[in-house]
A and B are shown apart, each in its own frame.
Chain A
Amino acid sequence: MELVCPAGSLNAFKVAVENGADAVYLGFRNETNARYFAGLNFNDRAAQKALTLARSKGVRLFVAINTFANELNADKWRQAADAAVDLGADAIIAADTAVLEYVSQRYPQQPLHLSVQASATNSGALNFYYRHFNIRRAVLPRVLSLPQVEALCQNSPVELEVFAFGSLCVMAEGRCYLSSYLTGESPNTVGACSPARFVSWEENNGKTDARLNGALIDRFEANESAGYPTLCKGRFHALGKRFHALEEPTSLNQEAFTLDPEWEKRLLEVSEGSQTTIGAYHRQWQ
């Protein structure tokens, strides 16, 4: 099994390489990847440095180009694909059919991985991508239970990658428009969910209101830490009660391995809301 790790900066890339990642993936500094946040990601020079680092340690480098190319400026996605190939990426992680087709036709030798953002949750969808683009691997959306992942392993035409730790997407990735409904920008179109430029925190009678484009996502008491208003993790009203109607602030952490308590502690420190869940892998979460 290969351990794959994302890196948002050269420093993070270095840490991943030095701490046991078999492959590290990065994105360029624009909306062609699904983690397009201010201050994150790589320009050409940083990507080149990351590659040198990876090669020196025998670690593979992937490039994520996993948002959806807009008809009006699709060139940007093709340029990102050209840059990833020029760099010498060991794989390009893509979601949009246009990106997959461009790479598979122009660079038939370039290994392609299907991004989680493509939302392929079954063997039929995987067969579609394999038939058209000869993908080598697919990253599974965080909506399948472990038995479903197991069944898919038996029926998949390609090798599969699953999430073990990280942010918990409650919705099927690539098929969630909650963010654009409230802000006009979504992971598919601009590579960001609940973008920071729409976020505000306001003090209000000793409470803190966290808003996204004006909509109240959560109201924190003085003794609560006011978290980032990721819109699916807010407290809303339904059926006459106020609760985390979709999901609590939490990160994904599988339970397939027994963790050193010290590691567990460090994972919790970087988890949303300082807590983790095994998410959809466990039927009870669903």
Chain B
Amino acid sequence: MQITLAPIPFYWSRDDVFSFYQQAADWPLDRICLGETICSKRREMKLEDWLEIGRMLTAKGKQVVLSTLALIEAQAELKTLNRICQQDEFEVEANDLAAVEQCHQLGKPFSSGPYLNIYNSTTLKLLADDGLQRWTLPIELGESSLKGMLAAIEQQQINITTEVMVHGYLPLALSARCFTARALDKPKDQCDRICLDYPTGIEVTSSEQQPLFTMNGIQTLSGDILDLRQQLPQLRALGVDCIRISPSQFAMGQIINAYADSHSGNYDTPTPPSSARSCNGYWFDEAGFVHHGFRLKP
């Protein structure tokens, strides 16, 4: 199985982004997705900056993908999307059907992140005919749905690579409203790009201190962090081609190394701690925030 590093969901300074990917160049990763997927007001990084990082990572032997905005509302956002789809250096990851449509019109093969609602093989087949070469399982689906999809892919001989998100904050919802700006009593249009001050989002807990969600601008992420490292043997046995790790903090090296270690059969150590506790309920067709601890060793 390959390992993909998903785009950074948070808003980090340009220096931090460059420094993060300098490190990522040496992590045991196969693919790295770059780009702003959450908010078009986050302008620390220009397309040229992403291309520069992409070239650096390519030189280090990584496969580089340019990921695109998940919620597209304005004409200006469609134009930015068009610039990304038009470039010829890197593959494009579609997070909205607008990106699918543009790639199709350009005759350009593409992949998809977890934001496209692919719940059945009919949808997958139709998108594959439009040029989709790699898809990501929707986050709320678990092992039983994945099994059904993989069986259908084989039966219908759909030529596609399957990726499953295994680590990181779950991308639960997108809104027109900026929750971060609102929590800080700022209007969205005068947000002062305040997300920069919250590099791992803002924790939202119940009145009983149960972590529920994480505010990330217009996005609501899970309160706990998905961790499917103990499920890697099943993922491999099912025929999943690639696992996806979403940056949940700046220091991702140990987490990625732990996942890479598991490839060689080392499951003894728990996944190194990240910025929140972990969950894996979706995998078992349960509530996403449920956490099943260590099960029998593979």
A binds B: yes
Interchain CA distance A143-B73 in the complex, whole Å: 8
Whether A71 contacts B121 in the complex (CB less than 8 A), given A215-B212, A238-B204, comes out as yes
A239–B289 touching, CB < 8 Å: no
* A-side interface size class: 35 or more
Interchain CA distance A175-B210 in the complex, whole Å: 24
Partner of A171, one of B152, B187, B210, B220: B220
B207–A219 touching, CB < 8 Å: yes
- Say what secondary structure dominates the interface of chain B: mixed
Partner of A178, one of B104, B205, B213: B213
Kindly supply a per-residue 1/0 record for chain B positions 124-164, scoring 1 wherever the CB is within 8 Å of any chain A CB and 0 otherwise: 00110000000000111000110011001000000000000
**B122: nearest residue on chain A (CB-CB)?**
A98
Interface flag for B237 (CB, 8 Å): no
B220–A246 touching, CB < 8 Å: yes
Interface flag for A153 (CB, 8 Å): no
**Residues in chain B near residue A274, CB distance under 8 A:** none
Cβ < 8 Å to B, chain A residues 70-129? 70-72, 74, 95-98, 101-102, 118-125, 127-129
Interface flag for A144 (CB, 8 Å): yes
Interface flag for B9 (CB, 8 Å): no
Looking at the complex, which of B28-36, B54-62, B94-102, B267-275 is the stretch in contact with chain A? B94-102
**Residues in chain A near residue B256, CB distance under 8 A:** none
Kindly supply a per-residue 1/0 record for chain A positions 127-161, scoring 1 wherever the CB is within 8 Å of any chain B CB and 0 otherwise: 11101100000000011110010010001000000
A121–B71 touching, CB < 8 Å: yes
- Max chain B C-beta neighbours (<10 A), residue from A144, A148, A238: A238
B73–A144 touching, CB < 8 Å: yes
Partner of B140, one of A132, A189, A234: A189
Partner of A121, one of B73, B183, B210: B73
B215–A96 touching, CB < 8 Å: no
B207–A175 touching, CB < 8 Å: no
Kindly supply a per-residue 1/0 record for chain A positions 159-202, scoring 1 wherever the CB is within 8 Å of any chain B CB and 0 otherwise: 00000000000111011111011111010110000000000000
B120–A236 touching, CB < 8 Å: no
Cβ < 8 Å to A, chain B residues 254-298? 281-282, 285-289
**Residues in chain B near residue A243, CB distance under 8 A:** 183
B102–A237 touching, CB < 8 Å: no
B152–A71 touching, CB < 8 Å: yes
Chain A interface residues (CB < 8 Å from chain B): 68-72, 74, 95-98, 101-102, 118-125, 127-129, 131-132, 142-145, 148, 151, 155, 170-172, 174-178, 180-184, 186, 188-189, 213, 215-217, 219, 232, 234-239, 242-243, 245-247, 280, 283-286
When A and B form their complex, which 4 residue pairs have the shortest distance between CB atoms, in order from nearest? A124-B98, A98-B122, A143-B176, A181-B288
